[in-house]
Amino acid sequence: MTFAGGKLIWMNGEIIPWEDATVHVMSHALHYGSSVFEGIRGYKTPDGMKIFRLTDHMKRFYNSAKIYRMSMEYECDELIQVCKDIVVENAFENNPYIRPIALLGLGPPGLAPKADHKVDVAVAAWEWGAYLGSEGLEQGVDVCISSWQRVAPNTIPAMAKAGGNYLSGQLISTEAKRLGFAEGIALSTDGTVSEGAGENVFVVADGKIMTPPSSSSILTGLTRDAIVKLAEKIGLEVTEMAIPREALYLADEIFFTGTAAEVTPIRSVDRIKIGAGSRGPITKELQEVFFGLFSGKTEDSEGWLEDVSSKAS
Ligand SMILES: Cc1ncc(COP(=O)(O)O)c(C=O)c1O
């Protein structure tokens, strides 16, 4: 099955047709997972097309590259501008998803790349609807605890959004789907809750909102951070804490956050009904303030919505 998402892709300094944006089969990244990437969403708002937390995503992109000592020949501001340009050039009718990627390309064979190993950089974009289904956003999704644990600390760094990390995500997500669930949640190697295959997890119990800390092998999501800040704005406090598996079964509400999943309620875990088995009131309230950013109902007091027509400085 092929996929032609957008019309144009920016690759190594040029905007080229989608089908021409290819890499060599001997690229280091294909063999060893040595790529870093981002997932960013654009939203059509009453004030035009905006990209949510573009600068923060691109900072994380460069941080992921830093962990792997991968140097790109482009400055962060240049690639921020490219993300805006590629959205404009593709003239999307619906909300786009933007995917910057840097990968170790064709170079001398061997595991440890030389400092001057070629790094290919690309930014693609395509229209992408609700990751876990639009029905899931309202009704909630059914998830399972994965038999696969998340990467242990000091093995593969969870805070880097690197291609290789997503072998863990693929095992978790594929197992969940094979068993008839929308998504899987993985535990950390200490047995406490880590995160979904591509989403952070929040738990509501007795009016208290909790989410696992960065030490629980999570990618520190920007949506997670946005929800913590938006919750504060409406008078709700989020506590970062280690969460035992069984606390999920006993929760009043659980929800996922992520660029792809946005804010998605979870209605059951391992076929155990969470709360009333439907979207809970706190999840609904947080969805409203989150999606309100894009409809204009929530004030963008943090400057998270970045205009595609403004020039990156
Ligand atoms: C493993 C993982 N955890 C969490 C997230 C959520 O991060 P963000 O909200 O920055 O998209 C993602 C998505 O990027 C992810 O892949």
Q: Which CATH number fits domain 8-127: 1.20.1260.10, 3.40.50.300, 3.40.640.10, 3.30.470.10?
A: 3.30.470.10
What is the position in ligand 1's atom list of the atom closest to the CA of 259? 11
Atom of ligand 1 nearest to the CA of 200: 4
- Say if CB 158 and CB 213 are below 8 A apart: no
Domain 134-295 of CATH type 3.40.50.720: no
CB distance 169 to ligand 1 below 6 Å: yes
Kindly give the number of the ligand 1 atom that is closest to the alpha carbon of 195. 3
Return the closest-CA partner of residue 286 out of 305, 264, 307: 264
Of 20, 25, 38, residue with least CA distance to 80? 38
Same fold, 8-127 and 134-295: no
161 flagged as catalytic? yes
Domain ranges of the chain: 8-127, 134-295
Q: Which residue has the tokens 């804010």?
A: 263
Q: At what angle do helices 54-67 and 222-233 cross, to 10 degrees?
A: 140
What percentage of the chain exceeds 90 in pLDDT?
92
Cβ of 262 below 6 Å from ligand 1: no
pLDDT of residue 202 exceeding 70, the answer is: yes
Q: Does residue 222 have its Cβ closer than 6 Å to ligand 1?
A: yes
Determine the straight-line distance between the first and last CA of the chain, rounded to whole angstroms. 40
More confident residue, 136 or 310: 136
Cβ 259 under 6 angstroms from ligand 1 = yes
- Give pLDDT tens digits for 10-63: 999 999 999 999 999 999 999 999 999 999 999 999 999 999 999 999 999 999
- The pTM of the full predicted model, rounded to 2 decimals, is 0.96
